[in-house]
Chain A
Amino acid sequence: MKGNARLGLILAVFAAIGCGTLAVVQGITAPAIAMQSEKALNESLKKLFPEAASFEDITETLKSTSKTVSFEKAYLVKSAAAPLGVAVKAVGSSYGGAAKLLVGVGLTRNIAGVTVLELADTAGLGQNAMNDAYYVNKAEKITFPGQFKGKYLTDAFEVKKDVVAITAATISSKALTEIVKTAADAAAAWLENQAAPVATPADQAAAAASGAPAQAGAAPTGGK
């Protein structure tokens, strides 16, 4: 019995030292990591909306209606004067696991752009969705996510019809298209609810409140 207590104590000491060290390292690296992800996000948001000046977090009011696609973050993108559109960071599952996409929707209900943030599909096949030098349309140098730019939400979003698939990666292509479609629809619905441009913080709160009930019945965001 005494021996067991001693073993437990030794184990506890090692665990405590380990925790302490990690806490210190975490403390040192946390600001740098936060800065990196902020920078990456800002860069990708700027890519979708070049005139963007500021971003407003609307994650709370924009919820996914799909079971397979969940939204991690959502931003209302604004230029100096007026809102430009909504950007949604959506997560869904693709061939090789979770896929993270940033989908931008403009005020005219068309897609401002799509960026693949994270993807773990087969290198050389599905992973080409992240490859800036892989073109689904070689003549016009359009990448797989690039083809969504300017696409209207009234389109069918069907792979091999109005969406060009990545060669030999139909599952990836379909999964990514599904994520784009879900995120874009939700963003457009959100914009619809907010028809009037946001003016003051009070208006904003009211708009957010009016936007929320419409989404209240939605299924809880999916994910395993």
Chain B
Amino acid sequence: MKKLWNIFKAGLVTDNPLLILMIGLCSALAVTSTVSNGIGMGLAMTFVLLFSEIFVSTFRKAIPSSVRMPIFLIIIGGFTTIVDLVLKAYFPELSKSMGVFIPLIVVNCIIMGRVEAFSYKQKLVDSIFDALGMGLGYTWVLVGMSAFREVLGNGTFLGVQVMPQSYQPILFFILPPGGFLIFGLFIAFNIWMKNRMALKAEAAAAKENA
């Protein structure tokens, strides 16, 4: 249980795909101009990641290592297309606002990276927790970044006006440079948190030894 929790936690902070591993950045910077996009993209990516990891982990013995890449791509592409079709059919509004980003999940390095580095070598249960941790780790950063960018750059949160009418939105935050700035601040925050956690763990370990 402790091990699974550690795998899950790694995705959130210590091995956060965006802030530590630095993969899947293009989507993170592109969609985070509104909170609803951030949530939608995060959940869609988590769904694809989860099912890809489950599938790869289950069939890992049947996948020869010399053709694993094309097989991973078939699996990831398949689940992404399913998400795309389902969104188009039943959630047209969401599909409209994220239109171009969904197909990009296929080339989101987080999925390829985790499938290759984790679930191809690990047991099914571990893979599920890794997928959930990584997916949520991706989602919280997206939602956090988009919250800052939407509130400062557009004066709204989830489309609802939260800043006073007199507030002049700072367009900078909606534009790519603002995205990079916020992203950098998130990296700094995450490293601070990671160091704090490490210190705490050290202190706990020292206490136990003493």
Which residues of A approach B to under 8 Å, CB–CB? 6-7, 10-11, 14-15, 18, 21-22, 25-26, 29, 32-33, 36, 40, 97, 118, 120, 122-125, 168
Closest 6 CB pairs of A and B: A32-B89, A29-B89, A124-B174, A123-B33, A29-B85, A18-B78
Task: Check B67 against A7 for contact (C-beta < 8 Å).
Answer: yes
List 4 additional A-B contacts (Cβ < 8 Å) besides A123-B174, A124-B154, A124-B171: A14-B71, A14-B75, A29-B90, A125-B171
Task: Check A22 against B82 for contact (C-beta < 8 Å).
Answer: yes
Q: How far is the CB of A38 from chain B (nearest CB, A)?
A: 11
Q: B77 on the interface (CB 8 Å rule)?
A: yes
Task: Check A124 against B33 for contact (C-beta < 8 Å).
Answer: yes
Which residues of B approach A to under 8 Å, CB–CB? 33-34, 62-64, 66-67, 70-71, 74-75, 77-78, 81-82, 85-86, 88-90, 92, 96, 99-100, 153-154, 169, 171, 174-175
Please tell me which one of the listed residues B62, B64, B92 contacts residue A36 in the complex, with CB atoms under 8 A apart: B92
B149's closest neighbor in chain A, by CB?
A: A123
Task: Check B90 against A32 for contact (C-beta < 8 Å).
Answer: yes
A4's closest neighbor in chain B, by CB?
A: B66
The interface residues of chain A lying within 8 Å CB-to-CB of B85 are: 25-26, 29, 33
The interface residues of chain B lying within 8 Å CB-to-CB of A18 are: 74-75, 77-78
Task: Check B74 against A123 for contact (C-beta < 8 Å).
Answer: no
Most buried by A among B33, B64, B85, B96: B85
The interface residues of chain B lying within 8 Å CB-to-CB of A97 are: 100
Task: Check A29 against B88 for contact (C-beta < 8 Å).
Answer: yes
Task: Check B154 against A123 for contact (C-beta < 8 Å).
Answer: yes
Complex alpha-carbon distance, A40 and B93, angstroms: 10
Please tell me which one of the listed residues B70, B169, B175 contacts residue A11 in the complex, with CB atoms under 8 A apart: B70
The interface residues of chain B lying within 8 Å CB-to-CB of A6 are: 64
The interface residues of chain A lying within 8 Å CB-to-CB of B70 are: 11
Complex alpha-carbon distance, A40 and B92, angstroms: 9
Complex alpha-carbon distance, A23 and B67, angstroms: 24
Q: How far is the CB of B126 from chain A (nearest CB, A)?
A: 23
The interface residues of chain A lying within 8 Å CB-to-CB of B67 are: 7, 10-11
- 30 contacting pairs across A/B (C-beta < 8 A): A7-B64, A10-B63, A10-B64, A10-B67, A11-B67, A14-B63, A14-B71, A18-B74, A18-B75, A18-B78, A21-B78, A22-B81, A22-B82, A25-B81, A25-B82, A26-B85, A29-B86, A32-B90, A97-B100, A118-B96, A118-B99, A120-B100, A122-B174, A123-B153, A123-B154, A124-B33, A124-B154, A124-B174, A124-B175, A125-B174
The interface residues of chain B lying within 8 Å CB-to-CB of A11 are: 67, 70-71
Task: Check A123 against B34 for contact (C-beta < 8 Å).
Answer: yes
A97's closest neighbor in chain B, by CB?
A: B100
Complex alpha-carbon distance, A118 and B67, angstroms: 39
Q: How far is the CB of A136 from chain B (nearest CB, A)?
A: 17
Complex alpha-carbon distance, A6 and B96, angstroms: 42
The interface residues of chain A lying within 8 Å CB-to-CB of B99 are: 118, 120
Please tell me which one of the listed residues B74, B82, B86, B90 contacts residue A14 in the complex, with CB atoms under 8 A apart: B74
The interface residues of chain B lying within 8 Å CB-to-CB of A29 are: 85-86, 88-90
The interface residues of chain A lying within 8 Å CB-to-CB of B89 are: 29, 32-33, 36
The interface residues of chain A lying within 8 Å CB-to-CB of B34 are: 123
The interface residues of chain A lying within 8 Å CB-to-CB of B171 are: 124-125, 168
A39's closest neighbor in chain B, by CB?
A: B92
